[in-house]
Structure 1
Amino acid sequence: MTNLPMIRITDSIECSKLILGSMMLKEENMEHASEIMDAYAALGGNCIDTAHVYGVSCSRAVGLWMREKNNRQDIVIIGKGAHPYGSPRMTREFMEQDLLDTFERMQTDYVDIFMLHRDDPEKSVGYILESMNALLENGYCRSLGVSNWTVARIQEANEYATSHGLVPLSCNSPNLSLAKPNEARWEGCVSVYADDLKWHERSQLPLLSWSSQAGGFFTGRYDRDNGDPEIRRVYYSEANWERYRKAEVLAEEKGASTNDIALAYVLSQPFPVCALIGPNSAEELHSSARALSVQLSPAEAAWLDQA
């Protein structure tokens, strides 16, 4: 595979269906970080997920790599801000400060997609959309999105934007995976289920899924009696083990791995969807990319999801 397929976020922004996460990239190990980003770019990948809460080192690694390659104009940068850090920070001032910090770390002066990392139901969608649009008007970003919002709040926000002449939200970044979480992996996180997926199908709003591979649940490194405590807490259930069994069946039929099947499930939705991945090596990156060659019919995807 030489070119990752793309989806359209706005009229002027397209991003590859596999989005590279940045949490595992560190300025202190630029050789390793560059190897992964080089491999991603060689596949035709063009979108890197960053966030203020991820810390200084990974943002600086992305910035140093873009400066070395002189490719900032070719890379779609997702920047996330206003994470609560234990207390509400959903204000225009915190949004702007988080972006300015990101610019300094990454040696840039804009992000392509600015997302709010969490929701704050105490703040009206009107205040939030007006604040985000101000950032857009200042040239700090090229489009707007949210992470870990319910589809009800997104719909409310975009209806407000339409009725008030504002730029609406262009994408949603919740958790979507074949393995359904027993509980939120991190506080304030949102996963999507059947009704949410139907809403996305109706609206065709692009979905950028984090933890799309369920923390490695489908890689075969875990079994019912062993595993990382967090993965056990979030994903161990009889329903998910049944999904794993079905993934094994389809993997055998299609000459793929169970992890390929799980990622193909995410990418086979009937609306624009991307998967955020966090490979720790070029080999893991290429393993994830192989899932793009696995085709699942709607019936197969529905069968996998039933437990």
Structure 2
Amino acid sequence: METIRIQGLSIPVSKLIQGSDFFTHDRYEQVCDVLDRFRALGGTTIDTAHIYCRGQSEETIGRWMKERGNRAEVVILTKGAHHNADGPRVNPEAIASDLNTSLERLETDYIDLYALHRDDTAVPVSVIMDALNEHIDAGRIHAIGASNWSYQRLQEANDYAAERGLVGFSFSSPNLSLAKPNEARWAGCISADGETCAWHERNQMPLLSWSSQAGGFFTGRFAPDILDNKEMVRVYYSDANWQRLNRAEQLAKQKGVTTVQISLAYVLNQPFPSAALVGAQNEGEQLSCYEGSKLKLTAEEVNWLEHG
């Protein structure tokens, strides 16, 4: 499996990142099957978060790593400081609390890639970067990033870090997919638009995309007259996206692959380092993602898929 490099890590990050938002204790056998296959395919990186499955996601990953004795070979991406019922929690206290809990659940003393799950623009970047660097200095985090931050805030944070000799963000994890959302899928979520992608290209900052296949938009399960999934209708149903689906179908037929593999290849063939978080739950889905990750698209094909 192809990989990218992220500053602060000695292990390369696989271009497919296995998602774990279905990892629960009662599905532990499936968790092991998925993770063992992912490793056999050359995958190195697993995505989780403090809030996933009420902590069971991190706990099952920790158990699997302990049983396999492979912690040093695995890149863990976990996220914290997600808001709760009381509101935003992007502050030093919440970061420390979530991080320590994640370390305990994962049965490890460090996180390879630690991302803030949300932003709170009311909190100065100085407060956030100072807090994260304390954990880096203590060895609890190897690299920091942000999920669902605007590129303007990322730049502001990294400018602050550079001015003070601190470690800055070395990756970002917004949504990026061939299907462009009409509005945020969930409140506070960020999707990479043209300006965001141009910023990533200028800075060559790695982008780790969540919902990289747009919730299954390219699987053939959806059409303009199929309206049973209200969230998909709200977020992805648009004339422009149906046209993108049509172009993806054309290119898939030309290359002898599936449409959903083309949509994945779009994310992985950007002019900056990119990886895709995928929620494959069985062997067929994992193999489909693996084959899709190997597809090479030209810059012209990527542009045609998006713009026509």
- TM-score for the superposition, normalised by structure 1: 0.97
Q: Distance in 2 between matches of 1:282 and 1:112?
A: 26
Aligned to 2:74: 75
Q: Distance in 2 between matches of 1:220 and 1:140?
A: 43
**Contact 2:11/2:73 (8 A) holds in 1:** no
Aligned to 2:109: 109
Aligned to 1:285: 286
Q: Distance in 1 between matches of 2:144 and 2:57?
A: 22
Aligned to 2:13: 15
Aligned to 2:233: 232
CA deviations 1:226-256 (Å, max 9, x no partner) are 1422111111111100000000110011001
Residue pairs, 1:202-281, within 5 angstroms: 202-226=202-226, 227-281=228-282
CA deviations 1:260-282 (Å, max 9, x no partner) are 11010000001100000001212
Q: Distance in 1 between matches of 2:275 and 2:163?
A: 29
| Residue identity matched to 2:186 | W
Aligned to 2:48: 50
Following superposition, the deviation at residue 157 of structure 1 comes to 0.6
The SS at the match of 2:119 is: coil
Residue pairs, 1:148-227, within 5 angstroms: 148-226=148-226, 227=228
The SS at the match of 1:101 is: helix
Match of 1:37 among 32, 35, 39: 35
Deviates more, 1:219-228 or 1:249-258: 219-228
**Contact 2:49/2:57 (8 A) holds in 1:** no
Following superposition, the deviation at residue 13 of structure 1 comes to 4.0
Q: Distance in 2 between matches of 1:131 and 1:56?
A: 23
CA deviations 1:91-112 (Å, max 9, x no partner) are 1111011011112212112111
Q: Distance in 2 between matches of 1:221 and 1:88?
A: 35
Following superposition, the deviation at residue 156 of structure 1 comes to 0.8
| Residue identity matched to 1:84 | H
Q: Distance in 2 between matches of 1:148 and 1:293?
A: 27
**Contact 2:113/2:144 (8 A) holds in 1:** yes
Deviates more, 1:141-150 or 1:77-86: 77-86
* Closer, same or farther: CA 268–153 of 1 in aligned 2, 3 Å: same
**Contact 1:254/1:294 (8 A) holds in 2:** no
**Contact 1:201/1:271 (8 A) holds in 2:** yes
**Contact 1:28/1:57 (8 A) holds in 2:** no
| Residue identity matched to 2:12 | E
Following superposition, the deviation at residue 225 of structure 1 comes to 1.5
Q: Distance in 2 between matches of 1:295 and 1:10?
A: 25
**Contact 2:173/2:208 (8 A) holds in 1:** yes
Which runs of no fewer than 5 residues in structure 1 stay unpaired? none
**Contact 1:264/1:294 (8 A) holds in 2:** yes
Aligned to 2:124: 124
Following superposition, the deviation at residue 293 of structure 1 comes to 2.5
Report the number of matched residues.
Answer: 304
Following superposition, the deviation at residue 193 of structure 1 comes to 1.0
**Contact 2:172/2:208 (8 A) holds in 1:** yes
Q: Distance in 2 between matches of 1:216 and 1:258?
A: 11
Q: Identity over the aligned pairs, expressed in percent?
A: 48
Q: Distance in 2 between matches of 1:274 and 1:160?
A: 26
CA deviations 1:48-92 (Å, max 9, x no partner) are 111111122111111111111100111100121111114121111
Aligned to 1:63: 62
Q: Distance in 2 between matches of 1:282 and 1:60?
A: 22
Which runs of no fewer than 5 residues in structure 2 stay unpaired? none
Q: Distance in 2 between matches of 1:24 and 1:282?
A: 15
The SS at the match of 2:260 is: helix
CA deviations 1:262-305 (Å, max 9, x no partner) are 01000000110000000121211111111123221101110110
Q: Distance in 2 between matches of 1:251 and 1:66?
A: 37
Q: Distance in 2 between matches of 1:14 and 1:163?
A: 28
